[in-house]
Structure 1
């Protein structure tokens, strides 16, 4: 009998600076969505493994939190250089476990480098405050870490999203438990190896692999002070409620339904390329994807150019796979239901296969016109390379559609009119706005975070706003001179 081999060894937890064998009775096959082949096996940890990781993080916390921040950031300067050194290998790993194109996977690692660069600027951002508040009385405010914190990451960005939290939280003096998505667990181990090579002390970062059981245990664990989560809105709500019920800080990012409003005066070529890229980048599997376009007035010519651009997006070449067979089936069902409900499919990506990758999970770029707001495809996050086009007569009607949806991640407008752009900027009910940009993701130091059902909790997960989330204020008032007069302040 031929013994089937897999490319990568069994995935292991990372606890106290060492990879640890996991004796879990439940396991999960790790598939590459590019081919459908099993590339590793993941034991699904339980609460005992989580507690080991928390104890390691607690043991590391006193020394790490008392290390001057100027010294902590030196590790991340070295880490940045290692990310740059291993760029191709890291991108290849993302591509294999997630299904992105190589260029998209490389861009993900480049963003991780930018996030690390921002963390290295922390000494200049948290200098604290000092003031003589009364004669001989001095007040000082400093930011201090929380303790052991946790980060729960999604499948769609196995390298970038962990870097939304790891560099900032650790540079600020916390120790961390990272729980990667069980669907894409491989990149996390390589991140841990590079951080150790850069000099990160053992126990500062720990990784526990698992599924729902570990997420619930993280929310419940009394020694974990804060939890960040990125995933679907349904799960984000559950995590936020459960974590905060245990008196933890929590920021939980959910899904989105982002609307791209296209006006007749929009630049046709720029609009078409932006809209096509927004709906199909990362196979549409990102919470900033422009999955819905709202055409305002006479935009038939622009729609035709969007279809023309979308035809250039070829699965297996410049379009990656979706994450799983179930995802492919769900996306294609959305398309079929919309067509049955009266929408017009202008470009059909169903039943797509890629030569030599027939087992992979591919959906071609799809453009559907004359979608109505009551259709399911107009209401739910598709998370695939699908653009649903709705039609309105006025910008106010388009904004009503955008603002009626329960999410609030992003909205964009394509126009040559400054006043129209300003109107959308002022009236769109979303946390991130684009003008002639289909994916308005802020760059550091500006933070990432939406509104409404796209985010639960205070503060954003990246940028300057994250400093507030990962730290707490210590206020000190001092007086040394007894000769100073005494008043109500002293």
Structure 2
């Protein structure tokens, strides 16, 4: 099912290199920050979707971590090239969901491009493991996930990214571009949800590490969940 009431489209997940549709028990409204109108809905996922994402990321980990650092960096630069071709589209998504003016939204896209392109000069030192990145920064829906993702991907980790449910569109659109940039399926996955999906991820033995960004309150909540399952967490 691709919508969540009154023909308002639900944002898909991105799992194993393709859009993944699910019928979640609940949805979060994604509103136009300027008009208040509901544009999309974010599915609040749970254990089934977390399992699918973890299986995809775990399945891709061996080959991705064995890929040379130069090749991983080249793929991140290729992602920057793909993003540059859709810069105005991404800026529009950012403006719509955050209320930023067009120049501020484009500045975020430019910063994302710089971060991706800098991967070519980066030093891979992240753990080669499966990481679930919980991102809560609603004001930087593109740059926030990338700040977590780029060093981890460069280091050889595979990712499950949970973007902010209120501003998910740029993160999902970026995942679509990973496929156009020849990223192997399963390396970069998008999973939507609230703290329930964080708990579902922590309960899975396949998830080795949590990365959390986006504010002290979110970090405190995620840290408490991680502690119950003894899942390591980084800020």
TM-score by length of 1: 0.45
Q: How many residues align?
A: 230
For CA contacts below 8 A with separation 6 or more, give which structure has more relative contact order: 2
Any unmatched runs of 5+ in structure 2? Answer: none
Any unmatched runs of 5+ in structure 1? Answer: 127-142, 253-490
Alignment of 1:374-389 (within 5 A): none
- 8 Å Cα contact 1:219/1:239 also seen in 2: no
2:204 is the counterpart of 1:221: yes
- Structure 2 equivalent of residue 343 of structure 1: none
What CA distance in whole angstroms lies between the structure 2 residues aligned with 1:118 and 1:204?
20
What CA distance in whole angstroms lies between the structure 2 residues aligned with 1:146 and 1:238?
25
Provide Cα deviations, 1:90-143, integer angstroms capped at 9, x if missing partner.
101111111111111111111111211222223xx35xxxxxxxxxxxxxxxx5
2:100 is the counterpart of 1:100: yes
Closer, same or farther: CA 4–222 of 1 in aligned 2, 3 Å:
closer
What CA distance in whole angstroms lies between the structure 2 residues aligned with 1:220 and 1:115?
32
Alignment of 1:21-32 (within 5 A): 21-32=21-32
Alignment of 1:453-464 (within 5 A): none
What CA distance in whole angstroms lies between the structure 2 residues aligned with 1:229 and 1:55?
21
Provide Cα deviations, 1:210-269, integer angstroms capped at 9, x if missing partner.
1121122233332212211123323312322432453433223xxxxxxxxxxxxxxxxx
Provide Cα deviations, 1:370-407, integer angstroms capped at 9, x if missing partner.
xxxxxxxxxxxxxxxxxxxxxxxxxxxxxxxxxxxxxx
2:127 is the counterpart of 1:145: yes
Which structure is larger by alpha-carbon Rg, 1 or 2? 1
- Structure 2 equivalent of residue 53 of structure 1: 53
Q: Cα RMSD between the aligned structures?
A: 1.9
Closer, same or farther: CA 38–144 of 1 in aligned 2, 3 Å:
closer
| Structure 1 residue 49 displacement after superposition | 0.4
Q: Secondary structure at the match of 1:50?
A: helix
- 8 Å Cα contact 1:65/1:145 also seen in 2: no
- Structure 1 equivalent of residue 217 of structure 2: 234
What CA distance in whole angstroms lies between the structure 1 residues aligned with 2:126 and 2:145?
22
Closer, same or farther: CA 212–246 of 1 in aligned 2, 3 Å:
closer
Between 166-175 and 225-234, report the one with greater CA deviation. 225-234
What CA distance in whole angstroms lies between the structure 1 residues aligned with 2:67 and 2:209?
21
What CA distance in whole angstroms lies between the structure 2 residues aligned with 1:246 and 1:69?
32
What CA distance in whole angstroms lies between the structure 1 residues aligned with 2:126 and 2:192?
29
| Structure 1 residue 78 displacement after superposition | 1.1
Looking at secondary structure, tell me which structure has more helix per residue.
Answer: 2
What CA distance in whole angstroms lies between the structure 2 residues aligned with 1:4 and 1:55?
33
Q: Provide runs of 4+ in structure 1 moved above 4 Å.
A: 3-6
TM-score by length of 2: 0.91
| Structure 1 residue 58 displacement after superposition | 0.5
What CA distance in whole angstroms lies between the structure 1 residues aligned with 2:145 and 2:87?
16
